[in-house]
Structure 1
Amino acid sequence: MDRLRAMEVFVSVTEQGSFSQAAEHLELSVVMVSRYIRQLEDAMQVELIQRSTRRMHVTEAGRMFYEESKQALDQVRRAYERVESLQQAPSGLLRVSAPMTLGSSLVAPLVAGFLAEHPDVRIDLVLSNSVVDLMAEGFDAAFRIGNLGDVDLVAKGLRPYRMVICAAPGYLDRHGHPAVPADLAGHRLLAHSTWTNRFTWPLLDAGKEYPWPEHWVLKSNDGQALRLAALAGNGILLQPEFLVAEDLREGRLVTLLDDFLPATRPVNLVYLRQRSALPKLDAFIRYILRHAG
């Protein structure tokens, strides 16, 4: 049994709260995750996790083993990082988190360019609209939109996040041009499913805020899916400028309601201060700031 790998699997099961989610997080099968847990329990002759068909519960022994395993894995990670920091050329694995639309449209091309310059670096780019815990989830860096609340993170400001409202010329020929936010009530709209009370993009009119109407014809958590729907003439889109910049230049989409756009928001590349000495992370930070700062 690979004890270190088994400890990593057990820590993931404990933190994720289920075998299936841990398997997805570690890119293993559920059968393999169960095998590692069973091997640990057989080796120590103790039950670490009580499980049934509906739920699982970490035992007292399991909780103790989790705390010790977490510390051991952190120590192993620090050992690797100290050796990596002695290297001249950037190399090794970088784990990076980014929101989905920002990640696919802006971060992914930057990552591709960085890899071309640094062939000895590998990048695990995870796109998710969830805010990750860099330390707990093992990320080296993350791209964040909006004001930051993490006091323990170093933040480097990037170009601000600016939204645009647009539609295909064919749609506007059929349905007309909205002149003020209230006119959107009579239009077919495309909405992003992560727009919640916590993270919305209200339109601004004479100091008042108007939320994006709820009567959408398509809702998706992927900005590219919404962009394709707008290009097909299915409705009016509110998305970041970088996503549709080429479509606007080529005339496939045209902007609307420019005087009522939501306020721009800051974008930051954040990372843990103690990891900035790693050549791979330092090179990544400098590359991002050079191209998107």
Structure 2
Amino acid sequence: MRLPDLEAWAIFAAVAEHRSFSGAAAAIGLSKATVSKAVSRLEAQIGQSLFHRTSRRLALTEAGRPLADHAARLLAEARAAEEAAHDAAASPAGRVRLAVPMSFGIANVAPLVARFLAQHPGVEIDLHLSDARIDIVAEGFDVALRIGDLADSSLRARRLCGIASHIVAAPAYLAAAGAPAHPGDLTGHRLLGYANAPGPWRFADAEGTVLTVRVDGPLTANSGDALVPALLQGLGIARLPGFIVGPHLASGALVAILPDWTPPAIGLHLLTPPSPLRPVRVEALIAFLAEHLRDPCAAATRPVAGGQALP
């Protein structure tokens, strides 16, 4: 039985990550010629080209894209196995890449990262803040937090808690345009949209009746925080999570509406690549986040005056 060329697969993963032979060579401490030969050797073994090569650009081929994901997983598992063996009797140390949603990350995760680093001085964290959905395996993340539905069935996922979302507006807007008493009354109102959760708003009442409302208004943004100034100016109605609008609801600057339509909370999930092998530093961060993110989420899901919307 011929063994797989694991070195070539690992080098291919590095080239796919850096989109450059020279960049991969510098990152893994090999010559560019060695890197190029390893990729050519792998292409010969599988009988397919992995990259489109031009003088200015290196891009994965149609066949290379899924193989790059496999190579990244293979390399990550090998590294994790080695690190687990070295770290078994050691304190957490090394780099962890963490991806979190922007607004939730700034308010709830960044303070926890500071506390974690204070407790584990040997650990370094690369914190990536973005509301865009990312491929954590292809982009090399160790841990990710995601709010909403999960579509990545290959990932290992843990639901940490639920987060309430609310339909809110400024009192001035409601005084001028009228306060909707039913989801159907939203038609004709100025609804502010969240670009990373497109589509209609869904509502359910206590009897389980489900309604949908098409979002139509003057502003759509890929950040929930970016909708708040427009709300405060009385420009419309928005659906936003409690960790964004909670302070404004408490101060009265915004009002929650549709109290008889209360859906389940949106889930906050902790995601990791599919391999069960993880370095001690990653396990430590996962345990820390799982422990400390339950309280902020519980606070976010406590009932407030007004309605909430299904994602």
* Superposition deviation, residue 104 in structure 1: 3.7
239-248 vs 60-69, greater mean Cα deviation: 60-69
What is residue 183 of structure 1 aligned with on the other side? Answer: 185
Query: Contact 1:166/1:255 (CA < 8 Å) preserved in 2?
Result: yes
Distance 1:162 1:64, change over 3 A: closer
Is the alpha carbon distance of 1:56 and 1:217 closer, same or farther for their aligned partners in structure 2, counting shifts above 3 Å? same
Matched, 1:10 2:11: no
The amino acid of 2:86's aligned partner reads: V
Q: Which residue of structure 2 aligns with residue 253 of structure 1? A: 254
Match of 1:220 in 2: 221
CA distance in 1, matches of 2:157, 2:60: 37
User: Is 1:129 aligned to residue 132 of structure 2?
Assistant: yes
Match of 2:210?
209
Q: Is the 8 A contact 1:195 1:201 kept in 2?
A: no
* Structure 2 counterpart of 1:266: 267
Give, in whole Å, the separation in 1 of the partners of 2:253 and 2:238.
13
Shift, 1:237, TM fit: 1.4
Q: Post-superposition shift, 1:81?
A: 4.0
> Would the aligned equivalents of 2:94 and 2:123 in 1 still touch at CA under 8 Å?
yes
Q: Deviations over 1:195-227 (max 9, x none)?
A: 245xx6511245332334221211111111112
SS for the counterpart of 1:234 is coil
- Aligned partner of 2:117: which letter? L
**Which residue is 2:305 aligned to?**
none
Q: Is the CA contact (8 Å cut-off) linking 1:49 and 1:62 kept in structure 2?
A: no
Matches within 5 A, 1:52-201: 52=54, 56=59, 58=61, 71=74, 74-87=77-90, 89-126=91-128, 127-134=130-137, 136-146=138-148, 154-196=156-198, 201=201
What is the rounded CA distance, in whole Å, between the counterparts of 1:242 and 1:210 in structure 2? 25
Secondary structure of 1:238's aligned partner: strand
Paired residues, number: 272
C-alpha distance after superposition, 1:73-106 (max 9, x if no partner)? 753453234323331x322211222334433443
Match of 1:44 among 31, 37, 52: 37
Matched, 1:292 2:293: yes
Q: 1:62, 1:210 → 2: CA distance?
A: 40
CA apart distance, 1:160: 0.3
Distance 1:147 1:43, change over 3 A: closer
Look up the equivalent residue of 2:89 and give its one-letter code: L
Structure-1-length-normalised TM-score: 0.72
Paired with 1:181 and 1:67, the residues of 2 have a C-alpha distance of 46
SS at match of 2:260: helix
- Post-superposition shift, 1:172? 2.2
Contact 1:8 1:73 in 2 (8 A): no
Letter of the aligned partner of 1:241 in structure 2?
G
CA distance in 2, matches of 1:204, 1:241: 18
Deviates further, 237-246 or 122-131: 122-131
- SS of 2:196 mapped into structure 1: coil
> 2:143 corresponds to which letter in structure 1?
A
Letter aligned with residue 80 of structure 1: E
Using the TM superposition, give the Cα deviation of residue 57 of structure 1 relative to its aligned residue in structure 2, in angstroms.
5.8
User: Which residue identity does 1:252 align to in structure 2?
Assistant: A
Contact conserved, 1:164 with 1:240, CA < 8 A, in 2? Answer: yes
Q: Any stretches of 5+ residues in structure 1 without a counterpart?
A: 14-18, 23-29
Deviation at 1:161, TM superposition (A): 2.0
Residue segments in structure 2 that go unaligned for 5+ positions in a row:
1-7, 41-48, 295-311
Identity among equivalent positions (%) equals: 30
